[in-house]
């Protein structure tokens, strides 16, 4: 089973790797970039999903080396993207509320010789619980670097609307349960429409997550989602495969 010790060994011995799931414009299906997703291949061969070990990493202090590992994998990809494309990373709130975060990211971008707009930052809505602080400050600085800041899994995390309104963010990624429900019944459709209206009012880009069917794609388009991510158009894949999609122009 998965232990902190096992995860630490994986960090040292190459047991972790990333996949990248592509993102597309909702209307033209043009590739806009992707999302980096970490995976753990345990020594017994089991593939452990991040939902199982990211919380373990957060509890044991391994989240910082894990985040560094993902940076090490993602940064070289950025240099190989087409202009306008970006790869986003997932951050637990605590990792975004660290001192010197922006300086560290700026230095990594400079080392690759790429502009900040190639990197996306995803944070879960639970980050919005609590008052403004270092997190907000960091997000504002990251935006100044050109990084796009997204709220991930939107709709599941009890965020306060007033926080949402004042936070420095660029986009909402609608959790896949709302995309699924919208294609299912009228109440689900109404709910998704409300999310779309709110995002419009707040001037936020909308990304639909977990789009698996044409019906779900239609719903996402109908409420004005700019971008789409999901199995219908692209599963998480090896970074090299993702890069070849990028160069094809998607």
Burial of 154 from C-beta contacts in 10 A (0-12 / 13-18 / 19+): buried
Which residues between 205 and 224 bind Na ion (CB under 5 A)? 209
Tokens 């429409």: give the residue. 193
Binder of ligand G out of 7, 21, 33, 196 (CB under 6 A): 21
Helix (H, G, I), strand (E, B) or coil at 228: strand
Binder of ligand G out of 33, 34, 92, 239 (CB under 6 A): 92
Q: Toward ligand G, which CB reaches closer, 48 or 167?
A: 48
Q: Toward ligand G, which CB reaches closer, 64 or 166?
A: 64
Is there a contact between 37 and 19 (Cβ–Cβ < 8 Å)? yes
Nearest CA to 229 among 244, 199, 207?
Answer: 207
| Contact region with Mn ion (CB under 5 A), list: 16-24, 51-59, 121-129, 227-235 | 121-129
Under rule CB under 5 A, residue 32 binds Mn ion: no
Q: Residue 235: how many CB atoms within 10 A of its CB?
A: 10
Under rule CB under 5 A, residue 153 binds Na ion: yes
| Contact region with Mn ion (CB under 5 A), list: 9-17, 63-71, 149-157, 227-235 | 149-157
Binder of ligand G out of 22, 196, 230, 239 (CB under 6 A): 230
What is the distance between the alpha carbons of residues 34 and 11, in angstroms, rounded to a whole number?
23
User: What is the Cα 105 distance to its own chain's centre?
Assistant: 16
Residues in Cβ contact with 103 at an 8 Å cutoff, skipping those fewer than 6 apart: none
Under rule CB under 6 A, residue 219 binds ligand G: no
Q: Toward Mn ion, which CB reaches closer, 114 or 173?
A: 173
Which residues contact ligand G by CB under 6 A?
A: 21, 37-38, 49-51, 54, 70, 90-92, 152-153, 176, 209-212, 230-231, 236
């Amino acid at each position: 089973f998965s232990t902190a010790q096992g995860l630490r060994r994986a960090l040292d011995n190459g047991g972790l790797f990333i996949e990248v799931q592509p993102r597309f414009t909702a209307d033209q299906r043009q590739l806009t970039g992707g999302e980096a997703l970490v995976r753990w291949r345990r020594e017994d061969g089991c593939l452990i999903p991040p939902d199982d070990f990211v919380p373990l990493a957060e509890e044991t202090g391994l989240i910082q080396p894990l985040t560094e590992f993902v940076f090490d994998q993602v940064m070289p990809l950025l240099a190989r993207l087409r202009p306008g494309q970006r790869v986003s990373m997932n951050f637990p709130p605590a990792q975004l509320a660290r001192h010197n975060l922006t300086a560290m990211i700026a230095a990594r971008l400079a080392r690759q010789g790429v502009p900040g707009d190639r990197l996306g930052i995803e944070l879960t809505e639970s980050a919005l619980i609590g008052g403004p602080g270092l997190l907000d400050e960091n997000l504002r600085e990251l935006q100044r670097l050109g990084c796009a800041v997204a709220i991930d899994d939107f709709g599941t995390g009890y965020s306060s609307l007033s926080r949402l309104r004042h936070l420095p963010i660029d986009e909402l990624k609608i959790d896949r349960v709302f995309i699924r429900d919208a294609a299912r019944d009228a109440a689900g459709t109404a709910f998704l429409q409300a999310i779309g209206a709110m995002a419009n009012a707040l001037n936020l880009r909308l990304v639909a997550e977990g789009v698996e069917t044409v019906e779900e794609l239609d719903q996402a388009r109908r409420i004005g989602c700019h971008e789409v991510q999901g199995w219908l158009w692209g599963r998480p894949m090896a970074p090299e495969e993702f890069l070849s999609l990028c160069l094809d122009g998607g």
